[in-house]
């Protein structure tokens, strides 16, 4: 069955049913979900509303022949949740704007939506509405809303000279997967973990500087932090924590593992700075519930530019 045969209202009903089945249609924050002119969400008392939007375009951010539709959906949701994590917010809900060709198989779309809803259910970010349009290219725009206590949102511009530079998790798995798929060796399977818990812990901690989630690549996003904070980073690529087996896999493909890890992008780990008198790696790892590694420190001076020298993903 193709999308054009199902029609708009059939598709809305299908998505709403899938959301109910997966438990990703409702929650404490949802006053009104799919089906009216708009959805209604309720933030907590004293919370501001965080909003972020992110788009995945077929042929640009994903290809049907390189990853399963379910993975496309999971990654799209994770990319958005990661922005909430980087603000220290808890998810309230999300809306999906989907544009697709009428000839798209409904089974493909079912799998995309299924992947999205899986992550939505896992991270308590219910799907409460959306929009469906015809288009030549499949495009998924997710907008996520979150709640964060007033004055507690994490920012990009709060790094200070002397801060240590930290990262959660490990880098390069997404880039390696994409590289392999590009060379015809299997599909993109890796689905990063949005660091929602770690972000919330950071938002409640003292001594935290600037925070960003790594989407464009560690080097480029570190440049963003430094530029927005008016500082410079001294950091060592060989401090980047790598996934298990990563060096071997890179050697086989003939690529520099540290370069791939630094420039790859879509890691969705948190990159943050903290005052030097704060907790050490062991203590941060315990509090954030994920491995935390120091990769450098912040010094006075201005950064080299908009991520140019550091590489990273170019959107145009």
Residues for the chain: how many in total?
A: 316
CB nearer to a copy of itself: pick between 89 and 250: 89
Shortest CB 250 distance to a copy of itself, Å: 27
Report which of 208, 210, 209, 195 is spatially closest to residue 156, judged by C-alpha positions. Answer: 210
Report which of 271, 270, 258 is spatially closest to residue 311, judged by C-alpha positions. Answer: 258
Shortest CB 20 distance to a copy of itself, Å: 17
CB nearer to a copy of itself: pick between 127 and 261: 127
CB nearer to a copy of itself: pick between 66 and 155: 155
CB nearer to a copy of itself: pick between 49 and 248: 49
Shortest CB 244 distance to a copy of itself, Å: 28
Cα separation, 4 vs 7, whole angstroms:
5
Report which of 147, 171, 144 is spatially closest to residue 80, judged by C-alpha positions. Answer: 144
CB nearer to a copy of itself: pick between 155 and 287: 155
Identify the residue whose tokens are 């990319």: 79
Locate 44 and state its tokens.
């907590």
Shortest CB 247 distance to a copy of itself, Å: 30
Shortest CB 38 distance to a copy of itself, Å: 4
State the DSSP code for 132: E
Buried/exposed 187-204: b ≥16 CB within 10 Å, e otherwise: ebebbbbbbbbbbbbbbe
């Amino acid at each position: 069955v193709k999308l054009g045969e199902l029609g708009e209202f059939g598709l809305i009903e299908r998505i709403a049913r899938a959301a109910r089945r997966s438990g990703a249609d409702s929650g404490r924050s949802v006053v009104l979900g799919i089906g009216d002119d708009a959805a209604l969400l309720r933030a907590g008392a004293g919370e501001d509303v965080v909003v972020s939007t992110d788009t995945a375009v077929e042929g640009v951010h994903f290809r049907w022949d390189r990853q399963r539709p379910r993975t496309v959906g999971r990654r799209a949701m994770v990319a958005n949740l990661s922005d909430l994590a980087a603000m220290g917010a808890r998810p309230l809900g999300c809306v999906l704007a989907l544009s697709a060709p009428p000839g798209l198989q409904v089974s493909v779309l079912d799998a995309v939506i299924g992947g999205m809803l899986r992550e939505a259910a896992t991270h308590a970010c219910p799907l409460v509405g959306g929009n469906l349009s015809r288009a030549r290219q499949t495009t998924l725009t997710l907008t996520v809303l979150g709640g964060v206590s007033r004055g507690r949102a994490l920012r990009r511009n709060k790094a200070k000279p002397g801060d240590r530079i930290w990262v959660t998790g490990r880098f390069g798995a997404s880039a390696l997967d994409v590289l392999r798929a590009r060379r015809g060796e299997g599909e993109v399977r890796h689905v990063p973990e949005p660091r929602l818990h770690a972000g919330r812990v950071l938002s409640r901690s003292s001594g935290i500087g600037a925070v960003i989630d790594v989407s464009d690549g560690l080097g480029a996003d570190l440049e963003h932090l430094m530029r927005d904070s008016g500082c410079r980073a001294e950091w060592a690529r060989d401090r980047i924590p790598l996934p298990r087996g990563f060096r071997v896999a890179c050697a086989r493909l003939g690529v520099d593992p540290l370069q791939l890890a630094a420039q790859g992008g879509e890691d969705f780990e948190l990159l943050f700075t903290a005052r030097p008198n704060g907790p050490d790696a062991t203590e941060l790892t315990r509090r954030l519930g994920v491995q935390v590694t120091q990769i450098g420190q912040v010094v006075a001076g201005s950064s080299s530019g908009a991520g140019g020298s550091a590489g990273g993903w170019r959107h145009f």
